[in-house]
Amino acid sequence: MTLRPILIHPDPRLKKRADPVTHVTKDLRRAADDMLKTMYDAPGIGLAGPQVGLMARIIVMDCVKDKDAAPRPMVLLNPEVTWASEGLNTYEEGCLSIPDQYAEVTRPAEVAVRWMDLDGATQEERFAGLWATCVQHEIDHLNGRLFIDYLTPLKRQLITRKMEKLKRERARL
């Protein structure tokens, strides 16, 4: 497994729609392993293909935060929300592609998601709480949408400027 560099906003790849996964390959399995390792190392609870420059509809996530509980790494290919609750939840979201920036985003409190697993089988699960927020956030990435797109234009612009400055500083080092 290899740590992959995480793209930082603004990067045009983060605003593009990812391509569907048509079949599971050895390279895709390796990419999934790399993405999980990268996500845990960051540390984060979710990561989408476009965030590591992989323009495929793949996300990884693990929202288990209790250090005493067993981790639950998940790999979802071509995930889609099939149902969303009317009830909403507001959560302070962050993003590995927008480091150290957080904002409250309101999303459905529960969602049902269908996806293909690494064996090519169709899976479906209902997510609530942090899991629901995370899976929706990561699916947004596959559609070229970032959590800052839910903010006012002014807040989005301020965060984008901070990220441009961060990228310039990193380039100098």
Nearest to 9 by CA among 153, 139, 158: 158
Q: Is 19 helix (H, G, I), strand (E, B) or coil?
A: strand
Would residue 124 show up in a list of annotated catalytic residues for this protein?
Answer: no
Which one of 86, 138, 164, 169 is the catalytic residue?
A: 138
Nearest to 15 by CA among 160, 152, 116, 167: 160
Q: What is the 3-state secondary structure (H, E, C) of 75-125?
A: EEEEEEEEEECCCEEEEEEEECCEEEEEEEEEEECEEEEEEECCCCCEEEE
Q: What are phi and psi of 147, to 5 degrees?
A: -60, -30
Tokens of 156: 């989005």
Rg of the chain, C-alpha, whole Å: 16
Indicate which residues carry an active-site annotation: 138
